[in-house]
Amino acid sequence: MTDDELQTLIEDATADYAMGDSDSALAKLTRATTAAPVSFEAWHALAEVNFSLRRLDAALAAGERAHALQPSDLFINTTLSRIWMERGDKTKAEHFGAQAKIGSWKDQLKNPEQQAGGIK
């Protein structure tokens, strides 16, 4: 599977989920993660869809795979924080929430012009 095909598959899965076809979305994301097990985007999307469907074990498994690929990503840390909060583990939720906040601060330091509304 090419990178473009993978991206299209992830986008199609996201559209399927948005249109209410969760089974198709999950099937496409499973296909994406099987074909490209190092695709952060596929694992993260799979985590989000499973989380939205309240499939917390599957969401956590996919989220942990995404996190292993990009541990400093703001969004996967936020996703894991939400999953752990729903699972009732406030300590782990706070850990990942803090990691997300640190990532946000780092991004602000790297891109200060964005924080000032584009004014340099």
At 34-59, the pLDDT tens digits run 999 999 999 999 999 999 999 999 99
DSSP string for 13-34: HHHHHHTT-HHHHHHHHHHHHH
Distance CA 59, CA 44 (A): 9
Six-digit token string for 70: 């990009």
Q: Domains of the chain (ranges plus CATH)?
A: 3-115 (1.25.40.10)
Residue 119 contacts by C-beta under 8 Å, 6 or more apart in sequence? 113
The pLDDT score that the predictor gives to residue 107 is: 73
pLDDT tens string 73-92 = 989 999 999 999 999 989 99
- CA-nearest of 13, 35, 29 to 62 is 29
- SS3 call for 53: coil
